[in-house]
Structure 1
C-alpha cells in the first residue's frame, strides 16, 4: 500500500471535499455480524476499565519513525489525522471507535503512573469534545503542551511521553474497534532525541506488543532495507510464530525513484486527494508492473481491512475463553486480597483486645494515662481491664450501701442494721457517701426506717403469711417475702451496671477500630459484625441476669456457714446490748466504809428483776424480731454472692472475656460470607491507595463478569 493522508473530512461521517457523504462500504469489512458481536464484548469490557487490570485484545500500529504508521492507521479508519511533524507520534495515541446513533469526538489523557500525583491529577482533568476533525490538530497540540513536551522554561523540552492520549470517535457506521498508534522506533540519538528518549520508545513498544492479546501491525517502509527496521526483530521476539502479527509494507512507489508515479504519490501524501481517489490510485498502482503479479489478497488497503477483520475476529474468538478465565481468576485474587486484608485487621484487633482484657497495656495503642479525666472516660477507656475493675468496684459499693429497699436507723438517724453484722460504716447516715457513681443520677436511694418501723413491717408481712405454726414461730415463707422485698432494687442496679460496662466495651472497640483502620472500613465493620456482636453479647448478659434474678426469687437456700455465723453474731450483739442497758439501769451509788467515797454498783436483785421482765408477751413482735434478724443475715450473705455472680457470671462471661474471640478475630473473618467480605473491604478507603485500588478493581471485574454473562449467551467461541 502507499502512504496517503486526508484533511478533507471535517465531520464524524466520511465526506469528500464537496461535502458528499461517502459510502462506508470499506469499513463494513470490519463489521461482520459475528465480528461485531465479538468486538462489542471487548468494547464493553474496555469501557468497564478492565484494561488497567486485564490485558484486553487491541490492535497496535508500530514501526520505525517515518515508516507510514499513521497513514496506515488513517487508511484503516478513514479518519483524517493531522500531519504536522512529530505531532501524533510523541506519545501513544489510542483511537477508540464505537458505533452509536450520535456522532461525537472526545478525548482524554491517561497519565503515566510514574508521574507525581499532582501531575496525574492535572492530566486526568483534561477532557475535550470537538465537533469537527479540523479541530483535532489544536486539541492534540494542547495535550502535547499539557504533557510537557513543548516546555521551554526548564531547559530542553521532553521529546516523548509515556502518557496516553485517547481519542474516542462514535458514529452510526463506526466499527467497535480500538487501535493504538505508537511513537516510531528511533535507532540512534540526535540533537532533538536523547539516548533516554530512544530507550523510552523501545520499552514502550515492547510493552505493548508483548501483550499476548495484542494484534501487531508491523509497518515497514519500502524506502529502507527490511533488515534495518527494528520492528521486525521486536515483533518476532514477541510473537515468534507470527500468530498475531501482520506485516504491512508502505511506500512501495519509492522503489522507482524519479518516476511519474513518485510525483503522484508525493501529491497524495501532501493531502491533495480524497480517500476515494486515494483508493483508486492505489488500485491503479498495483495493477501495473511487477505488482500486477502479486496475489490480490495481499495488496492494497481493501485487502488489509479484510485480512485485519478476519485476523482480529479469529484472534478474539481464540482469546475470549482465556480472557474470561483470567477475569474470574483476577476476581478471585481480588476477593482473596480483601479477605487477607480483613484477616490481618482481625489479627491486629485481636491482639489489642486480648491485651486490654488481660490488663497488659503495652503498645502504642494504649498510650499514657490521662489523670485529669475519670478512669472510664476519654482515652483512659483504652485500658479496658482497669475500667471494668473500676465499674465493678463501684457496683459492689452501691450494692453494699444502697442495695436494700430499706435502711434501719436509730433515734439519731444513724444506720443500725449493720451495727450487729460487722464493721460496715455503721455511722453512715446517708448510705451514699462512698459512691463515685458513673451515672448522673443514682437510680436507687434506700428508704430510711426506724427499728420499730422495721419490726412493724415484718409484723405486717408475718400476718399475711401465717400458716399453722404456733405463736412465737413464723412461716418459713416469711423470710422469702422479706428478702424479696428488701432485695427488689438489685435487678435494676445490676442492669444499669451491665449497661455501663457494655457502653465502655463499645467505646473501647470503637477506639481500637479507629486505630487499626479507616473511618469507612470501621463503619462497614460496625454495620456487618461489630455492632451485632456487641448487641448479642449485651443480650446474652441480660438473659444471664434474668436467670440470676429467677434464682434469687426462689425460696432462700444457703449452705454457707456465714449465714448462721452472722445470726449468732447478731443475737449475741443484741443480748450484750440489752444486758448492758439493763446493767446500766440497775446501777446505784454506794458509799464505801473505808474511804467514804461514793461508787457505782450493780444491784443484782434489781438486774435480775429487769431481766425477768424482758419477756416479750407479744408473740407477733417476738417472731418479727427473730425473722428480721434472719432476713438481714441472709440478705447480707446473698448480696455478696449476687455481686460476685454479676461481675463474674454476667460481666466477665458475656461482655468482657468474649471480646477478643467474638467481636473481630481472624476466626470471625474466616466465617464471614463472601458478600460480607466484599461489602466491608470494597468500600473506598481515604487513608490507603491499596484500599482504593481494591475497591475499583473489584468493581471493574464484577462489571466485566456481568458483560460476559450478557454478551456471550448466544456466541460460540473456540475452547
Structure 2
C-alpha cells in the first residue's frame, strides 16, 4: 500500500473502492478462505486494558457486556454484510489445531438475534455459552480447561443498510502472569495469536494505545514494526483521552496525532469510547465527543478525531487494500487450486471400498506390465523412466550373459588343455570378460538366501597330463580298451568343477537385475509411499520363490552336465576328435618327412616312408596312448558340452525362469494377481491409512472451497 499523508484519501483515479469487491471478500471470508491465504482485514491489537474491545464496539455498534472480559480470551471477528433481512448471527470458527471432536462441537453452535437491542439483552448468556463450548474457564464455567482459546467468535451483522466492514479483535498482550489464572504458556499463546494476524500483508493493524500510557512503552508498536517494516499497514488508535488531566500529557498526545512524535504513515486517531454506564446511541456519542471541542483537542484536524472519522477512514483503507489485492487474490487462488489438485491427484484414486482398492492395484499392475514389456523389448524411448539404467533390464541381462560366456570360455576349466598348433581352445581366448560391477550385499538383504557371496573365479592350472595320468592310474580296471567311460566321466567332473560357482554368480547377477527392476518399477507406478512397502512385502515371498526356482533350474543343468555320463549327438564332437587326431599325426610325422629337390635347390615335393608311419603309431605304450586319448576326447567333448551348457543356462534358467516364462517373477504383479487377493490381503495392501484418508478429505474440501472462491471472484 502506498504511503499516505495523515488523514488524506487517495486521489489516484485508478483506485476504485468497490463495494462489490468488499462483498466478494466477505463471501470468501464466510467460506473460511482466510485459512488458505491472507484476505484484506482490520485487526485491533494492543495491551490488556488498552480499550480494544471498546474500540471494536465503537466501530461496529456491537454492544459487548460491561464489566466482563470474556471476549478478550479469544479472537472476535465482527463482519458487517448487506442482506435483504436484518439479523445478527453468532457462531464459532474452530482454531487451526482443533481436534475433530472439538471442531464438530464448536461448529455446531449458532445463535441468531433480530437486532442489537436483542443482542444486548442476551449477549451475556450467549458469551457464557460460547465460553462453555470453547472450554474457557470462567466463574460461570469453572470446569473449563483453558484460559485462552485459538477458536474465533464470529459475529455477523447483516442488513440492507450495512456497509462492508470486517474487524477482528484479538486478546491483549500481557507481560506478567497471574497466579491461578494465567501462565507463561498463555502469555506465549496470546503473543503468537497476535503475530498470526498482524504478519499477513493484507491486514491493517489498528494499534490501540491508551492516552494515559507512554506509547514508547507499548509493546504492540514494536511488534507491529517487526511485521510492517515499511509502516504502511499500522494505524494508531488513541483511547481514554478523558483520563488525562495534565496539560503536558494532553500536549504529548496531540503531538502524536499531528505527527510530531513517533509518526506513523497512516497516522494516529483519537477517540473516546463508551464508558461502563454509557448508552450506545447517537446522542450519547455526541456528548462523549464534546470534549474534542475543548482545548487542546479542538486544534486537531477533524478527520483525525472521533469514532465517525475513524470508521470512515477504516472503510476507505479496507476498500483500498481490497482493490489492490483483488487481482492477486484471484491469481493466488487459481495457482493454489492447481497445486492442490496436483497434490490430490498424486494421492491416487480413493480406496475406501474393495472395488476401489482392486481398481487401484489393477491400474498400477497394468502400468508395471507396460514398463516390463518395454524393458524386455529394449524399447527405452517409450518412457523417460528408462533414463535410469537399472530399468534397462534386457540390456543388463545381455551384458551379464556376455560376462558369463566369456568367463566360461576363459576360466571354467580346472586345467588348461595342451596347446596344439592349428587348434584353438576356449580357455585360450584372448578376449577378457567385462569387469563385474561391485555388488553391494546390503542393498537388498532379502536376497541373501538366493545370491552367492563368492564373486572370485580361479584361473585354470597347468599340468593337465599329470592330472589325467593320476585319473588313469586310479581308475584302471580289467578291460580290453584303454579308455573306460568311468575315466572320461571322472576327468570331465574334475575339469568342470568350477561350473557351479560361475553359474551361481551369473544367476545371482540376473536375479539381482530382475529384482532391481521390479523394485524400481514399483516405485514408479506406485505413487503412495504407504502402499509401496506393503505391496513389496506382499510380493516378496513369491518373488523369492521364483528366484529360488531359477537357481534350482541352473543347478539342475550343472548336475546333468557334470554328474551324468558324457554324451552328445552333436556332430562337432566327432569333427573335433578327427581334427585333433589328424593334427596330432601331422605333428608326429613332421620329423620323418623327406624332401625331393632339384639341382638348383628347389623343393619338388615332400614324402614319408610307410615304415616310418607304423613306427610313429605303434611306438607308444598303453598308458601313454590312454592319457592322450582321454585328453583328446575330454577336449572335444568339453568344447561341445560347455557351449551347450552356456546356452541352456541362459534359455532355461534366465530367459524362461526369470524373464519370459509363465512363472517369471516379472509376470507376478498383474491384474490376475490383484483379483486373486482375498479381502483382508487386499485391504492390507491398498486401503488408505487414516493419515491419507484425512489428507484426502482436507484436500477435497480445499479444492471445493477454492473452486467456490474462484467462482465468487
- Normalising by structure 2, report the TM-score: 0.49
- Normalising by structure 1, report the TM-score: 0.49
